[in-house]
Amino acid sequence: MENGELLAFAEDVARGAGDILRSNYGRRQKVHFKGEIDLVTDVDRESEKYILGRIRETFPDHGVLSEESPELSSSSPYRWIVDPLDGTTNYAHGYPCFCVSVAVEREGKTAAGVVYDPLLDETFTATPGSGAFRNGERISVSETADLRKSLLATGFAYDVKVSKDNNFDYFRAFVFTGQAIRRDGSAALDLCYLACGRFDGFWELKLKPWDTAAGLLIVREAGGTATRLDGTAYDIHQADLLASNGRIHGRMIEVLQGAKK
Mean pLDDT for the chain overall: 93
Q: Which amino acid would we find at residue 47? A: S
Averaged pLDDT, 28-50:
71
Which three-class secondary structure string do you get for the chain? CCHHHHHHHHHHHHHHHHHHHHHHCCCCCCEEECCCCCEEEHHHHHHHHHHHHHHHHHCCCCEEEECCCCCECCCCCEEEEEEEEECHHHHHHCCCCCEEEEEEEECCEEEEEEEEECCCCEEEEECCCCCEEECCEEECCCCCCCHHHCEEEECCCCCCCCCCCCCHHHHHHHHHHCCEEECCCCHHHHHHHHHCCCCCEEEECCCCHHHHHHHHHHHHHCCCEEECCCCCECCCCCCCEEEECCCCHHHHHHHHHHHHC
Q: Which amino acid would we find at residue 230? A: D
35 vs 92, which has greater pLDDT? 92
The Cα–Cα gap between 29 and 200 comes to 34
- Give CA separation, 193 vs 16, 27, 71, 215, in Å: 22, 27, 29, 9
**127 in Cβ contact with 103 (< 8 Å):** no
Least confident of 63-77, 133-147, 232-246: 63-77
Q: How many Cα neighbours within 13 Å face the side chain of 122?
A: 17
- The backbone torsions φ and ψ at residue 64, rounded to the nearest 5 degrees and listed phi first, read -145, 130
225 vs 157, which has greater pLDDT? 225
> Is the model's pLDDT at 204 over the cut of 70?
yes
Averaged pLDDT, 42-63:
95
Averaged pLDDT, 153-179:
89
pLDDT at residue 37, as a whole number = 43
**Structural domains for the chain:** 3-139 (3.30.540.10), 147-260 (3.40.190.80)
> Is the model's pLDDT at 4 over the cut of 50?
yes
The Cα–Cα gap between 254 and 29 comes to 43
Q: Is 49 left (phi over 0), alpha (psi -120 to 50) or beta?
A: alpha
> Is the model's pLDDT at 48 over the cut of 60?
yes
64 vs 160, which has greater pLDDT? 64
pTM: 0.94
Pairing between strand 109-117 and 99-106?
A: antiparallel
pLDDT at residue 40, as a whole number = 65
Nearest Cα to Cα of residue 151 among 218, 86, 209, 196: 196
Q: Is 260 exposed, middle or buried (0-12, 13-18, 19+ CB in 10 A)?
A: exposed
> Is the model's pLDDT at 189 over the cut of 80?
yes
pLDDT at residue 252, as a whole number = 98
Averaged pLDDT, 87-115:
96
Query: Please, which pLDDT band fits residue 121 given cuts at 50, 70 and 90?
Result: very high
pLDDT at residue 28, as a whole number = 67
